[in-house]
Amino acid sequence: MADPDPDTLAIGITVMLAVPARLVMRPAVVSEGDELRGNGLLMAAQRVSTLAGPPLVGVIVIVGLHLWVAFLLEAVTALFAAALILRIPPWKPTVNKSAGPGGAKDGRMLRKAYVTSTRALLRVISSDAFIRGATLTSFSYLLAVTLGRLMLLVMGAERYSDISGFYGWMLAAMGAGGLCGSLLVARFQRFSTGTLYVAVMLIEACGWLSLPWLPNFPAAMAVMCAIGIMESAGYVLYYAEVQIRVPTSVMGYYYAALIPVGDACIFLGSAVGAWLAGVSVPAAALIVAGVMGIPMLLTVGWYFAPPSGEGGRVATEPR
């Protein structure tokens, strides 16, 4: 087994810190009352960059440049993004009573941050049924999607071995669908968020379940595009409801506790997914659909609960 790459580890640690910080800034750039459309546009921007990345790497390889050029371009775009982030208006500091005295000057700040974030996560999910359901099912969802992507790799090697780059085509179809789903979800505001959230999750589960039984490659592309639409729509609905329902004063702690648990689910899916799909692709598809769909069915009533009244913008008005 190859030795762990310290650069990859450093990137992972950076992302662990950066992702919650990026997510908690959404209320600063998305207006109150426009959460669905605003988060849809943010998700669409993410999907555009995901779609543009692989072709760009292909061009780099075709023209004979070294692959490190791709990482250099990523670093340049990261610096550009950081410059744009600095333009976001500052927010008034908030006092989190559960953090205890000492604040940033306390030498035990890191430990306190983990304890505080865990308490904030538990407090938030216990006070709002929608957030409770969406938080718990997000873990099973990440596990299911990771299993599903590894299932695609096995399908490409076994059933679609004559299709060059099958896995890449599947991810491209999923990304294109994701872009469409991000832009379209705001047009369905006349439906309740709970109805939409349950529907897109269950439709996506059915899409993953159908993959081993599809007749040909175009059908698989079409289903993966539909899966991408549902995936992005679900994320937009989730982020919009978090912004509405989770107090901004604890939103950072919420995401800080959420991301590591989600990463653990991705790790678990990566560890067993290839083996599972290698044993039986149809069985893997059934497990993916079950892990994704059954928790949604068990918690379906929670997604129709009104906000708890604690609102996402308390004590954080911009200066």
Contact 74, 14 (CB under 8 A): no
Average pLDDT for 233-248 = 91
Please name the residue that has the structure tokens 């896995």: 167
Q: Which residues contact 302 (CB under 8 A, 6 or more apart)?
A: 129, 130, 132, 133
The pLDDT value recorded for residue 150 is 93
Nearest alpha-carbon partner for 207 in 292, 271, 295: 292
Model confidence at 117, pLDDT cuts 50, 70, 90, reads low
Whole-angstrom Cα distance, residue 136 to residue 30? Answer: 25
End-to-end CA distance of the chain: 53
Average pLDDT for 181-205 = 92
Q: Long-range contacts: 264-267, Cβ < 8 Å, 24+?
A: 265/139, 265/140, 265/142, 265/143, 265/146, 266/142, 266/143, 266/146
Average pLDDT for 45-62 = 81
pLDDT for 265 beyond 60: yes
What proportion of the chain, given as a percentage, has pLDDT over 90? 39
pLDDT for 306 beyond 90: no
Average pLDDT for 236-257 = 86
Contact 179, 216 (CB under 8 A): no
pLDDT for 167 beyond 50: yes
Q: Looking at the chain, list the stretches that DSSP marks H as alpha helix, in order from N- to C-terminal side.
A: 6-24, 26-29, 35-62, 68-85, 109-127, 129-158, 166-184, 193-210, 217-245, 248-279, 281-298
Average pLDDT for 252-274 = 86
pLDDT for 319 beyond 50: no
pLDDT for 121 beyond 80: no
- The CB density around residue 278, as the number of other CB atoms within 10 Å, is 15
Three-class SS of residue 318? strand
Average pLDDT for 236-249 = 89
Out of 100-109, 124-133, 250-259, pick the least confident: 100-109
The pLDDT value recorded for residue 99 is 42
The pLDDT value recorded for residue 18 is 78
Q: 201-235 b/e with 16+ CB inside 10 Å = b? A: bbbbbebbbbbbebeeeeebbebbbbbbbbbbbbb
- The CB density around residue 1, as the number of other CB atoms within 10 Å, is 3
Model confidence at 241, pLDDT cuts 50, 70, 90, reads very high
Token pair of 253, please?
């702690």
Nearest alpha-carbon partner for 140 in 39, 264, 1: 264
pLDDT for 293 beyond 50: yes
The pLDDT value recorded for residue 227 is 97
- The mean of the pLDDT values for the chain is 82
The pLDDT value recorded for residue 19 is 80
pLDDT for 177 beyond 90: yes
pLDDT in tens, 63-108: 887 877 877 887 888 788 778 777 776 666 554 444 444 444 444 6
pLDDT for 4 beyond 60: no
pLDDT for 270 beyond 60: yes
Average pLDDT for 168-192 = 90
pLDDT for 239 beyond 80: yes
Q: Which residues contact 272 (CB under 8 A, 6 or more apart)?
A: 147
Nearest alpha-carbon partner for 290 in 174, 147, 132: 147
Entry pTM? 0.82
Q: Looking at 30-67, list the stretches that DSSP marks H as alpha helix, in order from N- to C-terminal side.
A: 35-62
Using the 8-state DSSP alphabet, how is residue 309 labeled?
S
pLDDT for 283 beyond 90: yes
Whole-angstrom Cα distance, residue 45 to residue 26? Answer: 13
- Please give the residue that has the higher pLDDT: either 52 or 12: 52
